[in-house]
Homo-oligomer: A and B are copies of this chain.
């Protein structure tokens, strides 16, 4: 095989890992359909009525998909130069953890392993994370999430601390008769209220409790503006990223103001 002629390994690699060729795109589409079908299958299996009626059909479908994903796993390992890099990567671990269970379930046949079986079902749902490949790494949304995560985290810890204090106060005021049976349960109520979810399974009954609850709700409603404002300004900062591509003819330095006449790095005139 001459260097110009790609080996079957390289051809395989191109199909699986890249989406430039027709085969590559087709592979991606088939993989996408398989992932979605797999997730739907796991969800349907958990519905008791469907499990009773179509249990065998679902099991066959699950085996077909498991074999397909095992083949995909094998192809990925074969067609990459450093297999270990893939096996221990994020996608590699997901692929393994979400395909192995079906094989393991052959051994778990007794009814006493129901919890284990249910846990195995959980692992198969992680196949949905394989969809992340299709979103794209240079996506602005992912960048935004990364840039903001420190700030949003501080905000969320702040909200959590607030909820713990408010939960304790409400535990004192309302008491166990009104549903606030312990501090953790009261903190749970505070979080349900502050985040404006508001189940209603616990609700304050005393006038003082309802007054404090009102303050909590208006607070939770209002302070969402702060992290939103921080992220908005971060995004807007990214907008203004300097587009001036002018390079100094003398020292090649880039990064000049739009109206600069001299290079601020070496002093030469930018243009004659």
Q: Which residues in A have some Cβ–Cβ distance to B below 8 Å?
A: 39, 42-48, 118-119, 121-122, 125-126, 128-129, 131, 135, 139-141, 144-145, 148, 151-152, 154-161, 164-165, 168-169, 171-172, 176, 181-185, 187-188, 191-201, 203, 207, 210, 213-214, 217-240, 255-257, 259-270
Q: Report B-chain residues with C-beta under 8 Å of the C-beta of A236.
A: 232-233, 236, 239
Cα–Cα, bound, A228→B194 (Å): 17
Cα–Cα, bound, A222→B230 (Å): 12
Copies in the complex: 4
Q: Report B-chain residues with C-beta under 8 Å of the C-beta of A151.
A: 140-141
Minimal beta-carbon separation of A249 from chain B (angstroms):
14
16 contacts between A and B (CB under 8 A): A118-B172, A121-B183, A125-B165, A125-B168, A128-B164, A141-B158, A156-B218, A159-B218, A185-B210, A188-B214, A195-B220, A196-B197, A233-B235, A236-B239, A261-B265, A262-B266
Contact of A229 among B42, B139, B232 (CB under 8 A): B232
Task: Establish whether residues A141 and B230, one from each chain, have CB atoms under 8 Å apart when the complex forms.
Answer: yes
